[in-house]
Copies of this chain bind each other. A is one copy, B any other.
């Protein structure tokens, strides 16, 4: 059972994990340094715990204790009980979902483990926006993707905003980081995946044709600003495109991903 600890000093050092949640730069630094991430809201906290992430601590106002009673029951981490005003003072915003938890990151699984048994995977190069990362996970999980691989520079799926947008899919969908960017696509080809890169480059074929009849497919998506790198485009087994209206040259990466996953699920 978690110890319930009432805290009334907003500067209490035990609350350090919860400081200034809107300061992206500070948070990235703090979360990397301490190997933690923040779960926000009863549903997300519960999913994170059920997915096997150990809690470092919980922070909540008294009226949120009951909803997470069973989770607290089974945890040895402390639960800091604060007023709603103080929760706002510490985090820097009005915590309208109530419960927060600081979770320990687990070591990332190997690429091999993540790909085990997978038939459709998303491979994401340098997508840096947390909302987009969250959306890729949510749509991927709904539309039949089995795993997600992220390039070394892609945004963090466990960042608070990513988790929220993903509606918990970052916990249910297996994912990891590619250890190395350079040879990433050839190594997928070597594992029996056909790598299909979404691009506006010349010679790209409609996505339906690109995936038709394939067994194991890796859908490869590039960053928001510049799309895929030249290296990854050159390395992909196939170049595919989503046909668009005349005069319009791009879709948001999350929308493109949803369409590509949908089409791939019907290959």
Binds B, one of A31-39, A100-108, A251-259: A251-259
A51 touches B (CB below 8 Å) = no
| Chain B contacts for A141, CB-based, 8 A | 245, 248
CA distance A256 to B143 in the complex (A): 10
Select which of B167, B252, B258 is within 8 A of A259 by beta carbon.
Answer: B258
Of residues A141, A167, A245, which shows the largest number of chain B Cβ atoms within 10 Å of its Cβ?
A: A245
Per-residue contact bits, chain A 231-267, to B (CB 8 Å; 1 contact, 0 not) = 0000000000011110010111011101100110100
A199 touches B (CB below 8 Å) = no
Of residues A138, A142, A248, which shows the largest number of chain B Cβ atoms within 10 Å of its Cβ?
A: A142
CB nearest neighbor in B for A165: B252
CB nearest neighbor in B for A246: B144
CB nearest neighbor in B for A169: B248
Q: Is the CB of A254 within 8 A of B251?
A: no
A135 touches B (CB below 8 Å) = yes
| Chain B contacts for A143, CB-based, 8 A | 242, 244-245, 251, 259
A195 touches B (CB below 8 Å) = no
Q: Is the CB of B259 within 8 A of A138?
A: no
A57 touches B (CB below 8 Å) = no
A194 touches B (CB below 8 Å) = no
A151 touches B (CB below 8 Å) = no
* Copies of this chain in the oligomer: 2
CA distance A158 to B186 in the complex (A): 45
Q: Is the CB of B245 within 8 A of A139?
A: no
| Chain B contacts for A142, CB-based, 8 A | 244-245, 248, 250-251, 255
A131 touches B (CB below 8 Å) = yes
CA distance A86 to B234 in the complex (A): 47
- Within the complex, the shortest CB–CB distance from A252 to chain B, in Å, comes to 6
Q: Is the CB of A135 within 8 A of B252?
A: yes
CA distance A259 to B248 in the complex (A): 17
Select which of B248, B251, B252, B258 is within 8 A of A251 by beta carbon.
Answer: B258
Residues of A participating in the B interface, judged by any CB pair closer than 8 Å: 131, 135, 138-139, 141-144, 165, 167, 169, 242-245, 248, 250-252, 254-256, 258-259, 262-263, 265
Contacts A135-B255, A138-B252, A258-B259 aside, 19 further interface pairs with beta carbons under 8 A come to A131-B131, A135-B252, A138-B255, A139-B252, A142-B245, A142-B255, A143-B242, A143-B245, A144-B245, A165-B252, A167-B250, A169-B248, A242-B262, A243-B265, A254-B255, A255-B255, A256-B258, A259-B259, A259-B262
5 interchain pairs, CB-CB under 8 A: A141-B248, A142-B245, A167-B250, A243-B265, A255-B255
